[in-house]
Amino acid sequence: MPPFLSGVIEGFYGPPWSQAERRQVFDRMRDGGLNTYVYAPKDDLKHRALWRETYSAAEEEGLAELVRACRERNLNFIYALSPGLDLRYGDATEAPVLQNRFAQMLALGVTHFALLFDDIPDRFEGGSLAAAQCAVTNALFGWLRERSARAQLAFCPTAYCGRMVAAGLGGAGYLETVGRELAPAIDVFWTGPEIISRELTVAHVRDLAVVLRRKPLVWDNLHANDYDGRRFFCGPYAGRPAELRDEVRGLLVNPNCEAPLNFVPLRTLAGFVQAPATARWDARAAYLAALRDWWPGFTTVGAPLAWEDFVVFCDCYYLPHKEGDEAETLFQDVRRALQARPADAVRRRVARLREFCARLAELRDRALFHALSRRAWELREELDLIERFLASPGPGVASDFHLPGTYRGGLVPRLQRLLTPDIHGTFSPS
């Protein structure tokens, strides 16, 4: 395994990628100089909910195909298992079950593994949850090393970000126990101050390394969108200084659920990893360069789309904590225009972006269009309503296309309107 891991964790909730989508991701990783893929799809039943069941012959062949595809591209394949939902710590009959699963993967040529204890109940009546998890992990690591001297293992703690540790998840002293009792050769995953961390600083990871007694392996959810089905994130790898690379075991991104939408996240991660140590990481410049490389994939059956509109559209789906520059400018201009009509220039810009969203239906790459379609449709509907309002001389506007109970309809939007967050993230009745 290389000294610095960089690449992708397929670790999201939602439909796992198809084999073809994984090969596409592998190609992009290889082309960008990334080196590691972690197989950990939460909704693969045998990864998590049915972790005790061994793979069928057909499932084994599918995994063998992935191992071969990674090997052909010089990518490390890490197989991850999530037994924490119902693992019986201290029960001697559980160890052979874990071993049987990993033995299947050893037979396929896999030597790099991960044991994940994230997103599970932290109630444990038998003493220290951290100590129990470390005992299971250390024993499995020893068993692996007896069968392959090259075997490597990573561990995801139950408290895997700063906020969880501060809240006492896993019990008092959870992370300190992990640092003390987990075998030193086992890597530890960490997402940063938050599950989705806006920034990841050198000071933060240095402090963490003291507790863990090793450099953390970053599981970066910056571009993950499984928690928000209305958005995807095609902004740059940002909020991480170049110096961070010297302080961590590696940087692995858990990206958008939709594989075709990860072009820019992977391209900019690769650029970040490979940037000269003396260079300042310019995330926006890297983003625009990556968009240029993605742009040829947006060919249509009709007239070419406009590059300027493409940038605005992508800026609308930038990063979890902010919009891109062009989208933020458009938002602020629309907000002002709604209060001080007429605003013909703003209305024309809104109309252009609305038309761009509509014309995405003409993309030749149908997988890319299908990944974008629901988000583009929603944005188009909002822009259409704003355009109608800006064009109306009256105080309000009616639309046959945005009927009450259908447009923005359903129980979820009604529930969302009941509680309103303030700038600090505290919710109160609306």
Q: Show which residues are catalytic.
A: 119
Contact 74, 45 (CB under 8 A): no
| Closest-CA residue to 133 (of 100, 160, 161) | 160
Amino acid identity of residue 302, one-letter, is G
Contact 29, 8 (CB under 8 A): yes
**How far is 215 from 156, CA to CA, in rounded Å?**
13
Structure tokens given for 13: 């909730």
Parallel, antiparallel or unpaired: strands 419-421 and 427-429: antiparallel
Q: Which H/E stretch holds residue 409?
A: none
**How far is 154 from 307, CA to CA, in rounded Å?**
43
Q: State the angle between helix axes of 325-339 and 344-359 in degrees (0 to 180), rounded to the nearest 10.
A: 130
* Contact partners, residue 152, CB within 8 Å, separation at least 6: 1, 78, 111, 112, 113, 185, 187
**How far is 322 from 163, CA to CA, in rounded Å?**
21
Structure tokens given for 393: 């001389």
Radius of gyration of the chain (CA): 24
> Measured at the alpha carbon of residue 172, what is the angle toward residues 166 and 176, in degrees to the nearest 5?
85
**How far is 27 from 69, CA to CA, in rounded Å?**
9
Structure tokens given for 133: 């998890």
Q: How many Å from the N-terminal Cα to the C-terminal Cα in the chain?
A: 53
Backbone dihedral angles phi then psi of residue 356, each to the nearest 5 degrees? -60, -45
DSSP calls for 312-376: HHHHTT-BTTB--HHHHHHHHHHHHHHHS---HHHHHHHHHHHHHHHHGGGBS-HHHHHHHHHHH
Contact 101, 81 (CB under 8 A): yes
